[in-house]
Amino acid sequence: MDPWRSAIVDAGPSHIRVRGHDVLELMQKASFTDLVFLLHHERLPSPAERRILDAILIGSADHGAGAPSCAAARLAASGNRQSVSAAVAAGVLTIGDEHGGAGSGCMELIATGLERSQRDGLPLDAVAGGMVDDVKAAKQRLPGFGHRVHSTIDPRVAVIFGLAEEGGLAGDGIRMARALEAALRDRGTPVPLNIDGALAAVLHDMGFPPRMGSLLFIIARVAGISAEVLEEYTREKPMRIKIPVEYDGVAPENV
């Protein structure tokens, strides 16, 4: 088998380097958030980029034991006490298009809008209007806008955008997201950017590809899942969790 090729880590017998940076030096000077940036971006972040990435990771890490990611991890920790990694992985597997995936969906939307504006020489509000019209015609929803439960604005959005402003990082991504928000409002659907949309806009402006939305959510959420698994192991008895179920299928006499 030919060796695989990779541009991320060079681990020789006497050194480990991440994208050319010596790990021993990073261990002494950098933060883990710096390394998350470097692993996915080819350079270290600026202080403003680090601050926003910390905010995103902190805001996504854990919303409680009842979220699908943490609940599935606790179910695995309840039945399988042999391996903490099995429980963490069970939690990770609940993360997808419907849970933690809206950031990636919105990043694709933003990238598409900006490409269209560039290609057709149209202003962002015209592009955004067309995209919203298409989505409304197809009776779909825009990922990153609105909320399953709340109609008010998620306060984490203001924090993320505030940090982007302060750090001088607001760019085309945030402009495109705002244009989509305005187009929704103008067309009678005043659904604000939610936290997934906010971080999508900012991640775009920091130069990350769309899949980074889901990957960052996973990196963040694994910290919360890990804490939930540790609590399940130390505080609860195995197999304590029983979900109540009612059978409503075919009756024995009708088989």
* Binding string, residues 188-227; x marks residues near a second copy by CB under 8 A: ---------------------x-xx-xx--xxx-xxx-xx
Give the shortest CB-75-to-a second copy separation in angstroms: 4
Instruction: Judge whether 115 and 89 are in contact, CB under 8 Å.
Output: no
Give the shortest CB-142-to-a second copy separation in angstroms: 16
Per CB under 8 A, the segment of 27-35, 128-136, 179-187, 197-205 that binds a second copy is 27-35
Give the shortest CB-89-to-a second copy separation in angstroms: 4
Per CB under 8 A, the segment of 111-119, 184-192, 196-204, 238-246 that binds a second copy is 238-246
User: Which residues 133-162 are close enough to bind a second copy by CB under 8 A?
Assistant: 148-150, 155-156, 159-160
Buried b (16+ CB within 10 A) or exposed e, 206-245: bebebebbbbbbbbbbbebbbebbeebeeeeeeeeeeeee
Q: What is the dihedral of CA 201, 207, 213, 215, to 10 degrees?
A: -160
Per CB under 8 A, the segment of 54-62, 117-125, 172-180, 183-191 that binds a second copy is 54-62
Phi and psi based region of residue 13 (left: phi greater than 0; alpha: psi -120 to 50; beta: remaining)? alpha
Query: What is the phi/psi pair of residue 22, to 5°?
Result: -70, 130
Q: Pick between residue 58 and residue 126 the one whose CB is nearest to a second copy.
A: 58
